[in-house]
Structure 1
Amino acid sequence: MKISKEKQKFELIKGLILITKIAVASGVSWEVAKLFGSKHPYLAPLTVILSIQETIQHSAMYAFYRIIGTLFGIASIILIIKHLEVNGWTIGLLLAIGMILPVLLRVHKTIIYQIALTILLVFVFVHKTSYYATDRIRDTIIGALVAVIIQVVIFPPNYVKEANRTLSQFGLHLGQLFAKTAYWVNNNCNMIERKNLMEDTTSLLQELHQVEKEFKKAEKSLRLNPFTKNENQILKKSEQFLVQLKQGYTYISGVLGTFSDWAEADYISTLDRQKWSIQIQMLGKYITEQIEKTSETSPVSKASFDLLDLSSIPLQINISPELEFHRYQLSLYNDTIKLMKNLGGNDKK
């Protein structure tokens, strides 16, 4: 609940910052365009609105694509534009001619869209005012530069905090899944409860994918950002912690099937269930404690997660020396049997 409220607060603040940036950059770009003699100053804030993206890198790339698209679009029609009548057929012909080369060169699709938009507007407005083509080039450059500068100067986007927040939430949910699995094992691996656990596992996988997306966005937000300080180190350590949690997820999702098969074969004893239940519970408790300890020492959004060290957890399960010698082969054997069973192969008797 606490994490959810923090996320809502973060989204609200992010939205207000975006509004502020667009408003300030639009006003500044309009005045700068007028200062340079533009007769169509609205073209500068138009570029601003389109160029301000979720990160500085995205903003810079979009601004660059818009400038290139504008220059290419004007260059492709400027010599013939005055000799053509404005109608649907000439517009369609110019768009086809102007975009064919960029498509063949496989340039970024944003550039292609900007070329098409430029051809359309320049062709229409140049017949009404001879200043439009010049204004469009100059004002597009002004708007692009102002958008990027504002992105850098006013609260530059930084999604490391958001990534850490989702990582912490995923870790707590993973710890809960360990605890539920331990309880399930200790209570004879009931099939109905197994179905609920599998649903939880699927939901957690979706959450893991979301965490990975947040980390990619956080990594991109630090590029071209001059105010990251130690954010790169924090993100790198959090990524290492995420790798460990992914290994924990892979483990718990795998043993669910193994315990279910073991219970169905009616080979698992009460003592084995109790030992494995304790083992899984200890692993999940350790993961949860590590995340909660980080939350207590610093806000989750600014957390620097300590890497997991499972060597401190005693192993509850012991096997005979004979089985120890064959444990790798047995592991491969069991995984292969499970694969053949899941994919419809014949189970080895």
Structure 2
Amino acid sequence: MDINRGKQKLELIKGLILITKISLASGVSWELAKMLGSKHPYLAPLTVILSIQETIQHSAMYAFYRIVGTLLGISITILVIKHLEVSGWTIGLLLAMGMVLPVVLRLHKTIIHQIALTILLVFVFVHKTNYYVSDRIRDTIIGALVAVIIHIIIAPPNYVKEAQKTLSQFGLHLGESFEKMAYWVNNNCGFVERENLINDTTNLLHELHQVEKEFKKAEKSLKLNPFVKNKKQMLKQNEQFLFQLKQGYTYISSILATFSDWSETNYISTVDRQKWAIQLEVLGEYIMEQVNKNSENYSITKSTLNLLDLSSIPLRISIPSELDCHRYQLSLYNDTLKLIEQLGTRQ
């Protein structure tokens, strides 16, 4: 409940910041457009509203695409406007002509949309006022620049902290899954518990994908952001930590099927169950310990982020010495055998 309230509060704050940015930038751009002689100053705040995106990079790219699309659209319209009258058919024909070239050149879809929008508005309004073309070019540039500048100056987006939180949540859930599997192995690998573990690993996979999305968003939020300081280094170290946790997920999702098959053969002894349960508990506890340390040392200025030091994890299980030279071949054999069995079930 507290987590949900925290998320709602954070989203509310972000919404208010976004409203402030759009409102301020719109007002500033309108006044600048009027000062520079625009007869259509609404075009500047229109660009502001469209350009302010989730990150500074997104905003800058959208603003650039809008300017390029506007210039291309005006160029195309000016070439043929004297030869056409305003009607639905002429507008449709002009739009088709104007958008063919950017589609063939595989330009960004935002540029294509802006070309179409510019062609439509310029074609209609240029017949009513001689100022529209120059106003649209000038005001679009004004709105784009103001939008990006305001986005940078006022609370520039930074999603590193959100990425850190999703990483910690995933790490804790991964550690809990290790402990659940330890209990399952130590208690004869029951069918119901196995199904619950399968659901847990499925949920972990969805959670992992979400963490990766958050990290991509965090990385983009740092681009063109002048106030990131040590956030890039922090994000890089957290990405290394995420890579290690991904290996933990791959491991736990793989051994689930192996333990299930092993238990059905009746070859797994009570002693083996206990040893493996202890090993899994150690792994789970260690992962959760490192996740907690990583969260505590979130501020890189205070301490270097902790990564999993796998060399310090004790190995509680062993195999007969005569099998040690065959362990890779046995592992490959088992994985290949399971794959063939799984492929055969679809026939």
TM-score, normalization by structure 1: 0.95
Q: Match for 1:340: what amino acid? A: I
Distance in 2 (alpha carbons) for counterparts of 1:220 and 1:3: 25
Q: How does 1:331-346 map to 2 (within 5 A)?
A: 331-344=331-344
Q: How does 1:230-249 map to 2 (within 5 A)?
A: 230-249=230-249
1:267 aligns with: 267
Question: Matched residue of 1:130: which SS?
Answer: coil
2:202 aligns with: 202
The answer to whether the Cα contact below 8 Å between 1:244 and 1:308 also exists between their aligned partners in 2 is yes
Mean Cα displacement is larger for which, 291-300 or 21-30? 291-300
Q: How does 1:54-203 map to 2 (within 5 A)?
A: 54-203=54-203
- Identical counterparts, % of pairs: 75
2:287 aligns with: 287
1:217 aligns with: 217
Q: Match for 1:197: what amino acid? A: L
How big is the shift at 1:10? 2.4
2:8 aligns with: 8
How big is the shift at 1:34? 0.6
Distance in 1 (alpha carbons) for counterparts of 2:49 and 2:76: 25
Question: Matched residue of 2:224: which SS?
Answer: coil
How big is the shift at 1:304? 6.0
The answer to whether the Cα contact below 8 Å between 2:297 and 2:305 also exists between their aligned partners in 1 is no
Mean Cα displacement is larger for which, 28-37 or 262-271? 262-271
Q: Deviations over 1:226-279 (max 9, x none)?
A: 111000110000000000000000000000010001011221111111110110
How big is the shift at 1:324? 0.9
Q: Deviations over 1:75-118 (max 9, x none)?
A: 00113214322111000010011111111111111100000000
How big is the shift at 1:303? 9.1
How big is the shift at 1:334? 0.6
Aligned-residue Cα RMSD (Å) equals 1.8
Q: Match for 2:289: what amino acid? A: E
How big is the shift at 1:8? 2.9
Q: How does 1:27-46 map to 2 (within 5 A)?
A: 27-46=27-46
How big is the shift at 1:45? 0.5
Question: Matched residue of 1:78: which SS?
Answer: helix
How big is the shift at 1:308? 0.3
Structure 2 unaligned regions, length at least 5: none
Question: Matched residue of 1:79: which SS?
Answer: helix
Q: Deviations over 1:184-243 (max 9, x none)?
A: 111111111111111110111011011001111111111111111000110000000000
The answer to whether the Cα contact below 8 Å between 2:22 and 2:52 also exists between their aligned partners in 1 is yes
Q: Deviations over 1:16-48 (max 9, x none)?
A: 111111111011001001111111111100100
Q: How does 1:275-314 map to 2 (within 5 A)?
A: 275-298=275-298, 305-314=305-314
The answer to whether the Cα contact below 8 Å between 2:276 and 2:316 also exists between their aligned partners in 1 is yes
Distance in 2 (alpha carbons) for counterparts of 1:149 and 1:196: 51
How big is the shift at 1:4? 4.2
Q: Deviations over 1:42-91 (max 9, x none)?
A: 11001001100111111110000000000000100113214322111000
Distance in 1 (alpha carbons) for counterparts of 2:304 and 2:344: 45
Distance in 1 (alpha carbons) for counterparts of 2:77 and 2:230: 49
How big is the shift at 1:126? 1.1
Quickly say closer, same or farther: Cα 1:298–1:161, change in 2 above 3 A: closer
How big is the shift at 1:296? 4.0
* Matched residues, number: 345
The answer to whether the Cα contact below 8 Å between 2:293 and 2:306 also exists between their aligned partners in 1 is no
TM-score, normalization by structure 2: 0.95
1:17 aligns with: 17
How big is the shift at 1:294? 3.3
Distance in 1 (alpha carbons) for counterparts of 2:80 and 2:311: 75
Mean Cα displacement is larger for which, 73-82 or 153-162? 73-82
The answer to whether the Cα contact below 8 Å between 1:295 and 1:303 also exists between their aligned partners in 2 is no
Structure 1 unaligned regions, length at least 5: none
Mean Cα displacement is larger for which, 140-149 or 120-129? 120-129
Q: Match for 1:161: what amino acid? A: K
1:316 aligns with: 316
Distance in 2 (alpha carbons) for counterparts of 1:94 and 1:178: 63
Question: Matched residue of 1:319: which SS?
Answer: coil
Distance in 2 (alpha carbons) for counterparts of 1:304 and 1:17: 31
Mean Cα displacement is larger for which, 336-345 or 288-297? 288-297
Quickly say closer, same or farther: Cα 1:338–1:186, change in 2 above 3 A: same
The answer to whether the Cα contact below 8 Å between 2:170 and 2:208 also exists between their aligned partners in 1 is yes
